A and B are shown apart, each in its own frame.
Chain A
């Protein structure tokens, strides 16, 4: 038999007390785990969303624009006004200082054309660059071929393809003012929930022809190479290279949203930590009560050879066990709670954060031990001579 098995037996003998103390810790741990899990999931959701921008810098003329932002996901922008970027200017972007970080530079031309008598948005793209920006698009059919032979190929958003019964291989006739264009559908983009659902996407040259905007692009979608790129710096460098253009780091939008989340997270965390403090008091008072209950027993143990250290370590062990059990239960409950609540609160379903299990349990064990300090002091004050006399 070891000291710790003795402590275990003793702890489990006083089940009701144990349950109260453990619950105190578990509630605090659950609160912390739920906050951490929910908000990490939210943060991750934002990062994913920010990746889905496709570009993290958007370069466009300084004109009034109608940003198409849905929640925290930007779907690009529509521009009012007649300012365009000269296609021939695009290579200048590679003169910026951080040019090594430029991985994708995707020019786009937006405009409105007629299809079967109704207006639709046409987006001209560089097929190669655009494909890298939209890796998550599912295409029924093929991506735009970059070859110039054969008829013009287009991609059609699902909101257009569905009602018109268009599919891979269908031919469509687009027109804008005097211009008209026969195009073959290379593929239909499966619904992304984004604006491209209502777009017709075609090679840049074809769109410039159709929209009568030869040599013009509406915007450049720029993707920096790395995650931690100095996007803000890079946008300033780009603005320097293109006088009259505005380069906007799209992560700003995400950052604003993130700030709101961070604020909420901080207050939720503060509440959790207060809960933890309260639970320390619960554990401390429960253990103090049990020490008071065991005054005689502790006196006996000292009489039969327990040292001060052993008495104290038994109480610390008890506090630690309460923390361990409470922390583990709390982790489980907190994870389940965030699993249930996060979809409603932050529209994401979190995964269990196994990597916080050990820190949380460790914090709870520490809490339990801190809570044992007062009971330990009390226990050390017990004079066996006194206790044994008052049989």
Chain B
């Protein structure tokens, strides 16, 4: 397989949630293709479905209609077990609130995906910590780290399994501007090695990515060098 292939193929994906008596359709038939190693930003107003899309790509959720392919495999056809395996191997998550496990040290938090995957740490934890520049903070608990440091530990945890895809949902949302910028440059340095998809509300930070995808109620804009298509994305209620 060449390096330049489509690692994510979202085809005509619809996602609806049942809500009381009716249904909320959050995504209305989205098409999105991401090349291996790309750094993509997703922007859009609150409630436009950004997190929903991320969850679909991250295999935490499945589409109501349409297909999501990761590395060519349609996730709708996979069993729960296969999904867990694929997710461990292919996807790393970063969240706005870092979501480190408070009882564990930085080192242990980073090692956790290895533990779940049943893999030995053959230096992967150390090199991930080095990668985010926190080798000297291995034994600190999350509560003993600054916000920026916690997010860097979270990034180390997300990349320790060397996944193909790094999903970052508003990774700078809880950080000040300077710290946020550091995180973005860290993500940028990871892009190429892996595909990075980042949700952000900050246009300036989004500017660091290869392209920006805009999700908007009935209005889809795209920027960047590559051609992408988003047919439609809007929120609607069908009662």
Contacts and interface: CB of A to CB of B under 8 A. Distances in A.
Q: Do A and B bind each other?
A: yes
Interface of A: 1-3, 6, 9-10, 13, 296-297, 300-308, 310, 383-385, 388-389, 391
Contacts of B96: 391
A388 B94 CA distance: 10
Contacts of A303: 58, 60, 87, 93
Contacts of B93: 303-304, 388
Q: Which 10 A-B pairs have the closest CB atoms?
A: A305-B88, A305-B116, A13-B103, A385-B61, A385-B60, A385-B55, A300-B99, A306-B116, A307-B84, A9-B103
A391 to B, nearest CB: 5
A303 B95 CA distance: 11
Which of B52, B92, B108, B112 has the most CB atoms of chain A within a 10 A radius of its CB?
B112
Interface string B71-94: 000000000110010011000110
B172 to A, nearest CB: 13
Contacts of B99: 296, 300, 388
A301 B61 CA distance: 15
Contact of A1 (B58, B80, B115): B115
A381 B101 CA distance: 20
Q: Chain A interface secondary structure, helix, strand, loop or mixed? A: helix
A304 B60 contact: no
Contacts of A385: 55, 60-61
Contacts of A384: 60
Contacts of A307: 81, 84, 116
Interface in B94-130: 95-97, 99, 101-104, 108, 111-113, 115-117, 121
Contacts of A297: 101
Nearest to B107: A1
Contacts of A391: 95-97
A305 B102 contact: no
A16 to B, nearest CB: 14
Nearest to B80: A308
Contacts of A308: 80, 84
Given A307-B116, A388-B169, 9 more contacts: A3-B115, A300-B95, A304-B88, A304-B157, A305-B113, A306-B84, A388-B55, A389-B55, A391-B96
B161 interface: yes
A146 to B, nearest CB: 80
B122 to A, nearest CB: 14
A175 to B, nearest CB: 91
Contacts of A389: 51-52, 55
Contacts of A13: 102-103
A297 B100 CA distance: 8
A17 to B, nearest CB: 13
Contact of B112 (A296, A301, A388): A301
30 contacts: A1-B108, A1-B112, A3-B115, A6-B104, A6-B108, A9-B103, A9-B108, A10-B103, A13-B103, A297-B101, A300-B95, A301-B112, A301-B116, A302-B60, A303-B58, A304-B88, A304-B92, A304-B116, A305-B87, A305-B88, A305-B117, A306-B116, A308-B84, A384-B60, A388-B55, A388-B60, A388-B93, A388-B169, A389-B51, A391-B95
Contact of A6 (B81, B113, B115, B158): B115
B115 A2 contact: yes
Contacts of A310: 116
